[in-house]
Every structure is written in structure tokens, then in C-alpha cells.
Amino acid sequence: MLSPRGAFTIFGGVVLIAFGFAATQMHIAFTTYHALGGGKQINIPEELPFFLLLMGCIMILSTVIGIPIFRLSADPRSVVVTRKIDREKVFAGDYVFVEVTMKNTGLGGIDLLEVYDAYPQIFELALGENWVLTKIEGGQEVSFAYVLRALKRGKYLLGPSKVIVKDRLGLFFEEEIKEGNETELIVYPPYEDIAKMMVVAKKRLMGRAFGIHKTRAKGIGSDFFAIREYVTGDEFRRIDWKSFARKGNPMVRDYEDEKSLTSVIFLDCSGSMGGGPPANSKLEYAIRSAVLLTHLAFERSDPVGLCIFSDKVRAWVKPGKGQRKFYEILEALAIVEPGGGANIEGAMEFVLSQVRKAGFFMVISDLEHANIEKLTKSLKQAVARNNSLTVLAPFGPFFEVKVGTLSPVEKALAEAVAEEYFGERAKVIKELQKAEIETISVGPDDILSVVIDTWIKQKRVSGA
């Protein structure tokens, strides 16, 4: 309650009083000594003790009289702090406008109010300040705001706020941390990859860049395909009357057949996937890949499902399409944290029990500590159910080591470790290839392009 300044003032007062009394005692002692014939009289003026006493009393009293006034007016509990954010869900790299409002519910004004609004360290303060120093009257409301940049996906809490009230002279203070006033914010994985794609699409380069073309097969869709002559059995409602009038023969309109490819993404979030720098770990790239694949599929109105697993299924989003499903998937991806082992077989079994329609399964896993036999068996089971399957296997050393930063010795060691990893990986790939399961080892540089290629390939193969 007593601030260092207040304590110093009181201490100063006590010291001055002590000096005052010391001067009095010295005066008495010298006078007595002189009276007893002990040498020359040393005179200590009578005013000195009184002056020191006066100053000491003044300092103590001027501090103490502030206590009741402070207690009456300054109570941090009377300050209600609320926080408002412009959106509760953002993409990594996006900005959030945080508005903090303080209301003094007390009757008296607070001379000096300091409010510090905490935010997770992973966020970056882009604009404004997350604190305020102000004076607030009883019943008054004041606000301030700041802009944060969300750097990493996840579920975060903004807050709590710390409220410090001080008196005008800075002699006293009270502080309180407003526990429970936190605001939840979900940060989705970054959409930069999607944004890049969208820009390219806008520039009409999509076809050339990625080779995405519609697989045209006539059928009963809604997109026009061609006009042909009528043959027996064609529906009357498909006759094109204008062409009939022009040519003299009955002509019918054909439409493109609309097939959809149901994709399910298996995302391994086991502990080993967390290897590498936090922002560029295998898991982060796997999540970015999942976001990209989801977006690609939704652009073509194909349903996508998501199964996040470690040693058990951590999240399951049923296949579906539309914007809401997209955000459902993003939300599931936002809160994934690496941990536990990897049970691909269990996840596959679970998904096969949930999804009846055949589709495309993309497993994103580093395949570390995988039981090859069990894994092959379960993946074969998926293929047997007429699903096409691709395993995207992020290769650990590519994510975990930045060669440029290593010394020659470290570089040699890293190469040795990578060699060992590579041997193991080759064995797993060989086994899976025997079972005709496509497995692609990927690094941070090619994972996204491999995702796009794989998906396009699947679209072509499935004729969707």
C-alpha cells in the first residue's frame, strides 16, 4: 500500500525526528559535562532540535493524512475492465483491434490509474500501446485500444488486466490483477498459401501454373457441354428449340457431368511432428498443407474431412463442403499441439467406420516409430474399400536442420543423422510401395507443391 516514495518520506521524517532528539540529548550532555567542570561549553542551539522535529513531523503527517483520502477514493476493485476485440477468429499474420474499457464504479475519482492489458508473447504489438495512464472520475468510463498481430495459430487468451491505482503524490498504491476478464481468440493457420493461389488465379494463370483443368465428361450436370442431334430415348426437356428451328432436325443440349471427390486428410500430430523451429515444424507445414488441400477441394465444391490423430483420434471433422465446413476444419487445425505417439492404424479404422463413400485419403505423417506391418495392413484395408491413398511424409532432417547455420562438424553430424533417417524412410517407402501405396517424402520447400500436384492427379484419376 505504501509506495517506495511514501516509505521514503516517512523514513525521512523518522530520521529527522531521531536527529532532533539526538541534538537535544547532546545539548543536555554537553551542558551537564560543562557544569561538572569537564572543559569548554559546546553549544547546540535550542532551535536545532525543534527545527529537525518540525521537519520530521511535517513529513510524517503530510504522508499519513493521505491514507484515509486514498482509502476512500482509490480502490482497484471498483475499476471494471472490459475488453472487446473486432474479431474472435483470425488467420495467423492477421491483425486484431483490441479495445479496453475501464469503468470506475466507485463514488470517488481515482487520481492516477494505470492499466496494463496482457497479451500472449507470441503476439506482436503492431500499433498503439497495451497500457494506459489516466485519471478517472467516479462513474466515468475511459477506453484505449491497440492492434495486435497474431503470429502463430492456436487458441489464446488476451488478458488479464493489471490495475494499479495511486494517489496524486505517489505515496500510496494498490494493485489488482483482474483475473477472469480474459478474452478468447482463435488464430487459424496462415492463409498466405491460399492467398498466393488466389492472386495467381486472378491473373488467369491458374491453368498454366498448376495444370488444373476441368475434367469434362457429359452427364446430367448444370454446366453446358454441347448440342447434338436427338436420339431415341433422350428426354424432351433437353431439346434445344432454337437449334431445332434453325437446323430442322431435333437437337438436344448436353451438360457436363458433375462428380465430386471426397477427400479425407489424416493429420499426424504426434510428438515427433513438432520437431524443428516452432514456426516451421513438420506439424506447421502439415497444417498448411491441410489448409491448402481443403481450400483446393472447396474451390471445386468437393467435400473434405479431417482426422487429427496422435495415439488416438484427437479431432474428427466429417467430410462436407461450404464455408462453414472450411472454418470448422480451420478451427480444428488451429488448436493442434504436437504430443503423444502416432497410431495411424487406429485413425484409419475410425475413419473407415465413419466414411462410407469411397474417396481420396491423404495421410500426412512423418511415419516415425511406425509399425510397418500394421501400417501397411490398415492402409491396404483403406485401398480395398476403393479409396485412393497417398502418404505425404515430411522428412525430419529437412525441417529440423538449417545447413547454413551449422559448423563443419555439426554439418557432418547432421548429414550422418540424415543418412540414417533416410535409410529408415527408404525401408518404409519400399514396404508401402509393395502394397501399391504412394508415399512421397517431402521437405519444407516442396510439401505445398506436392499437395497441389497430388490433388490434381487425384482429380484426374477419379475423373471428377
Residues 124-153 that bind other proteins (CB under 8 A): 126-129, 132-135, 142-147, 149
- Closest to other proteins by CB, 162 or 168: 168
Instruction: Supply the minimum distance, in Å, between the C-beta of residue 65 and other proteins.
Output: 5
Instruction: Supply the minimum distance, in Å, between the C-beta of residue 74 and other proteins.
Output: 9
- Closest to other proteins by CB, 49 or 394: 49
Contacts of 226-233 spanning 24+ positions with Cβ under 8 A: 226/253, 226/254, 227/251, 227/252, 227/253, 227/254, 228/252, 228/254
**What sign does the CA torsion over 365, 367, 371, 373 have?**
positive
Instruction: Supply the minimum distance, in Å, between the C-beta of residue 120 and other proteins.
Output: 18
Which residue, among 354, 360, 271, 358, has the nearest Cα to 316 in the 3D structure? Answer: 354
78 near other proteins (CB under 8 A): yes
Residues in contact with other proteins, shown as a per-residue x/- string from 157 to 176 under the rule CB under 8 A: -----------xxx------
Query: Which 392-411 residues touch other proteins, going by CB under 8 A?
Result: none
- Closest to other proteins by CB, 142 or 358: 142
Concatenated DSSP letters of 263-330 = EEEEEE--GGGG-S-GGG-HHHHHHHHHHHHHHHHHHTT--EEEEEESSSEEEEEEEE-SHHHHHHHH
Instruction: Supply the minimum distance, in Å, between the C-beta of residue 222 and other proteins.
Output: 26
User: Phi first, then psi: what are they for 267, rounded to 5°?
Assistant: -110, 115
Instruction: Supply the minimum distance, in Å, between the C-beta of residue 102 and other proteins.
Output: 8
85 near other proteins (CB under 8 A): no
Count of positions on this chain that bind other proteins (CB under 8 A): 89
Instruction: Supply the minimum distance, in Å, between the C-beta of residue 381 and other proteins.
Output: 37
Residue at grid coordinates 532540535: 49
Give the C-alpha separation, 329 to 298, whole Å: 12
30 near other proteins (CB under 8 A): no
Query: Which 38-77 residues touch other proteins, going by CB under 8 A?
Result: 40, 42-55, 57-62, 64-68, 70-72, 75, 77
Instruction: Supply the minimum distance, in Å, between the C-beta of residue 142 and other proteins.
Output: 4
- Closest to other proteins by CB, 283 or 334: 334
- Closest to other proteins by CB, 84 or 357: 84
> If DSSP codes are grouped into helix, strand and coil, which group holds residue 67?
helix
- Closest to other proteins by CB, 44 or 335: 44
- Which one of 7, 32, 105, 205 is in contact with other proteins (CB under 8 A)? 105
- Closest to other proteins by CB, 103 or 380: 103
- Closest to other proteins by CB, 5 or 162: 5
Give the C-alpha separation, 288 to 422, whole Å: 24
Q: Which contiguous run of DSSP H or E holds residue 12? A: helix 4-35
> If DSSP codes are grouped into helix, strand and coil, which group holds residue 17?
helix
- Closest to other proteins by CB, 145 or 348: 145
Instruction: Supply the minimum distance, in Å, between the C-beta of residue 79 and other proteins.
Output: 10
β-pair partners for 84: 99
397 neighbors 442 (Cβ within 8 angstroms):
no
Concatenated DSSP letters of 36-66 = TT-SSPPP--THHHHHHHHHHHHHHHHHHTH
Question: Checking DSSP bridges between strand 218-229 and strand 251-256, what pairing results, if any?
Answer: antiparallel
Give the C-alpha separation, 289 to 362, whole Å: 10
Query: Which 188-227 residues touch other proteins, going by CB under 8 A?
Result: 188, 191-192, 194-196, 198-199, 202
Query: Which 289-348 residues touch other proteins, going by CB under 8 A?
Result: 323-324, 327
Residue at grid coordinates 470517488: 108
For the chain, how long is the longest CA-to-CA vector?
A: 150
- Closest to other proteins by CB, 15 or 227: 15
- Which one of 24, 280, 354, 381 is in contact with other proteins (CB under 8 A)? 24
